[in-house]
Amino acid sequence: KMGDTGIISLAEAAAARPLLALEKLELNANSISDAGLAVLSTALAGGAMPRLEELNLALNMFSADGLQTLASAAAASGALSNLTWLGLAANRFGASGAATLAGALAQEATPQLQYLDLGTTALGYEGIDALAPAIISPGLSALRELHFDSNNIGDSGVQEFAALTGQPGALPSLEVLVFSANNLRATGLGALANATLRGGLPKLTRLFFSANRVGYSPSFAPAAGPLRLGGLRNLVFLSLTANKIDDARLAEIADVMADGALSHLTDLYLPSNLIGSEGLAALGRAAERGALPHLKTLSLKSNLIGDDGLVSFARSVSNGRCPSCALYRLHVL
């Protein structure tokens, strides 16, 4: 661990003799605080690493104040204009830090940015609202992958994000979106689906929605809300791992699939749910009706499926009963 002492020494050395060929800087898990990040930011603004493309600052100890120095330096000097990859995960700068970052991104401080990791940064719903100026700006037009995992964003936060992506020019290149572990229900997933149905996130193909509550409600009552997945036709990968999905919820998912939702899906991950034989049989019947014609990988590990369910599903996708099925990887153990 470098700590502030190490990063300050590195920054001062680079300021005195710029690292003109450096393209990737890995500083994750180094106990860097606001003081260390401030010195690094000053060095970057002075041209210490002019060709930097990847910067990983995950798992450190800086707050919104530290992020302010980095964002200000980037916006004022263009020091990060070549950056394509930025990792800020596991630094709890919260919504106030997100607002600072959004200001710099909206000013196109990182116009080539393709990857942004904001996982475990204590964003909450307010963090999504704070990021609004960046989400709707040309500053993130090149972004292809965005991580929001473990931020307690909630359905209201996802609804806010979905509404923002409906604005012209919002995240036009985004392909991968991570919303895992955010206390989300069917309402949040439906908001994303509706946004894509209205033309938002036109390039989105991979959605990580693990460790949420898509299937959760007392006795799976209607209060959980119906699943609306019709807008997710471009997805090729969907993870609903650990979402408390039971047979009734999977049957509902299967029905909307049979009606054309998720028709381009090649990989579907449903491990660690509450799925039994009846749920898998419902998925098999949906396959017979034309659901998931391109599915190649189906993961059902750590569920409650018995022999009867597997036999029923196997019959549905074999022996000519599902001529369009392309499944060749089934994970159940």
Local confidence band at 243 (pLDDT 50, 70, 90 cut-offs): very high
H or E stretch including 176? strand 176-178
DSSP string, 67-134: HHHHHHHHHHH-TTTT--EEE-TT---HHHHHHHHHHHHHTTSSTT--EEE-TTS--HHHHHHHTHHH
* Averaged pLDDT of the chain: 91
User: Using an 8 Å Cβ cutoff, are 80 and 45 in contact?
Assistant: no
pLDDT in tens, 155-169: 999 999 999 999 999
| Alpha-carbon gap, residue 26 to 236, rounded angstroms | 31
Q: List the single range of 7-16, 137-146, 234-243, 298-307 with lowest mean pLDDT.
A: 298-307
Percentage above 70 pLDDT, the chain: 92
| Alpha-carbon gap, residue 53 to 86, rounded angstroms | 9
| Alpha-carbon gap, residue 196 to 211, rounded angstroms | 22
Q: Running DSSP on this structure, what letter comes out for residue 304?
A: B
| Alpha-carbon gap, residue 255 to 243, rounded angstroms | 18
Local confidence band at 326 (pLDDT 50, 70, 90 cut-offs): low
H or E stretch including 65? helix 64-77
Cα 251–Cα 180–Cα 127 angle in degrees, nearest 5: 130
User: Using an 8 Å Cβ cutoff, are 61 and 88 in contact?
Assistant: no
274 has pLDDT over 80 = yes
User: Using an 8 Å Cβ cutoff, are 136 and 166 in contact?
Assistant: no
Place of tokens 């036109």: 202
How far CA 297 is from CA of 18, 113, 210, 294, 302, in Å, comes to 48, 31, 17, 9, 16
Q: List the single range of 99-108, 138-147, 271-280, 319-328 with lowest mean pLDDT.
A: 319-328
User: Using an 8 Å Cβ cutoff, are 95 and 129 in contact?
Assistant: yes
The H helix count followed by the E strand count for the chain is 11, 11
The reported pLDDT for the residue numbered 327 is: 66
The reported pLDDT for the residue numbered 288 is: 86
**Highest-pLDDT range among 14-28, 179-193, 291-305:** 14-28
| Alpha-carbon gap, residue 167 to 200, rounded angstroms | 7
Percentage above 90 pLDDT, the chain: 76
The reported pLDDT for the residue numbered 223 is: 39
The reported pLDDT for the residue numbered 227 is: 64
**Highest-pLDDT range among 84-93, 291-300, 311-320:** 84-93
Mean pLDDT over residues 221-240, rounded?
73
Mean pLDDT over residues 232-260, rounded?
92
**CB neighbour burial string for 36-66, b if at least 16 within 10 angstroms, e if fewer:** bbbbbbbbbbbebbbebbbbbbbbbbbbbbb
253 has pLDDT over 60 = yes
